[in-house]
Structure 1
């Protein structure tokens, strides 16, 4: 299997230059171990306006680490017309632009995704896909009881320190120490206070932050970097930063996919 791209994804303005990711960012250590138990999954990845090519490729390669996984790329119109529940176990929205993703699939597509998760499908959202899962935009899916802390999203990029919660260690294994992860303008969330949705559970927390372009400082440290929740019968995993091409975190997406698809935590 070829290694994933180490180039930054399209979560910033088109004029931004890609940054090469240091392979030793986590000291050449495997932070999250491979899942001990797997099963073949049918994974849909959104491939359309609002998603960067490298982000799709990286997530796709991570999904193929699961033996027997079948990965299908879905164009925006296919999200609206495909029988998601019959064809897939989990749907992924990767990095890019959450607003463009949500507007591209449109109201019909957004409702199809909600229906899929409500009926027992899994959802994995990374950066833009995490924005998309929130409740406070007219293009949102509203499948996680979370809203962004600020309307200013261009916080910048960097390698930030994270710490697992106890729930995170249940999902990802006994990760006791701080580790680094690539961040690129992902959402900073807080509870949305929706009574019709369950509260989310924090999986990992930011210990450091970046606050460029006049974005508010001091709000990222201590806030959720990754969270899980349920929506109807389905499971939702969101990640503000990018584990899919952070060295040492190669097994995080496979574990998240398996969990979202209904498998026990590994």
Structure 2
């Protein structure tokens, strides 16, 4: 039998290995995302998020509140609620729609909430989903709009593959949260912390700095990530949305 020099054999093994990776990537099933666009969803959140996820290879289905009762979350991996008004989103989907979303996550689906969608995932609002042991620190929510600084935690760095240094991010009245004291839910884990704050319109000062900007948690068999600020509208931080959806769909941390 003809033998080959060792370097040639090593190169052949490497080429076969790389070929198998490429084949798996080509045949990989795209993450299937349901993106809410109805009452309460406002601004640039929906189009920006859709563009980011589509470019990342996800299959994105935009849905209305009434679609929840018609099986829109069937065969989906992640549901996304973006910015606008959390109360309007919650009231728009109603009691029945909220139960559909909760069942979806409880049975293994992923939930990404940005700004209003983050409020929606919290506890102790009559219209919210209660996916996280989290509540707002104050009923005064109109903290302002503009740029603030946040810093990723070690877990946030691992999940997003971004470095640790402080990052400027778009903020628009997102929730400032603290534990809600629910014993039926596991504690959330911060992925990023605010390092500066906005405190306009009589909102309490001093509560935003060092509070969670982005957190992850578990609800039943499903995974939850909420972001108070807007990485989808911040150049250079769009990867946070992409990596969050990958993790929510069951992907391993980088």
Q: TM-score range by the shorter chain?
A: 0.7 to 0.9
Residue number in structure 2 paired with 1:143: 131
Equivalent residue number for residue 64 of structure 2 = 75
**How do residues 1-266 of structure 1 correspond to structure 2 at under 5 angstroms?**
40-67=30-57, 69-82=58-71, 84=73, 86-266=74-254
Deviations 1:11-52 (A, max 9, x none): xxxxxxxxxxxxxxxxxxxxxxxxxx8851110011100001
Q: Secondary structure at the match of 1:254?
A: helix
Q: Which runs of 5+ in 1 are unaligned?
A: 1-36
Q: Would you say how many aligned residue pairs link Structure 1 and Structure 2?
A: 228
Q: Greater CA deviation, 44-53 or 237-246?
A: 44-53
Is this contact kept in 2: 1:162–1:225, CA < 8 A? Answer: yes
RMSD: 1.2
Q: CA deviation at 1:228?
A: 0.1
- Residue 72 of structure 1: how far off its partner (Å): 0.6
Whether contact under 8 Å (1:201, 1:229) holds in the other structure is yes
1:5 aligned residue: none
The answer on whether the counterparts of 1:40 and 1:66 sit within 8 Å (CA) in structure 2 is no
Give CA-to-partner distance per residue, 1:164-210, whole Å, 9 cap, x none.
11110110114121111000000000001100001000000000000
- Following TM superposition, where does structure 1 have runs of at least 4 consecutive aligned residues deviating by more than 4 angstroms? none
- With normalisation by structure 1, the TM-score equals 0.83
Conserved? CA contact 1:135–1:142, under 8 Å: yes
- Length-normalised TM-score, structure 2: 0.87
- Determine which structure has greater relative contact order: mean sequence separation of CA pairs < 8 Å that are 6+ residues apart, divided by chain length: 1
Deviations 1:53-99 (A, max 9, x none): 521101101111222x2111110011233152x32100000000000
**Which structure has the larger Rg?**
2
Which one has the bigger helix percentage? 2
Distance 1:228 1:241, change over 3 A: same
| Cα deviations by residue, 1:198-246 (Å, 9 ceiling, x for unpaired) | 1000000000000000000000001000000010000000000000010
1:45–1:56 Cα contact (<8 Å) kept: yes
Distance 1:83 1:76, change over 3 A: closer
- Unaligned residue ranges in structure 2 (runs of 5+): 1-24
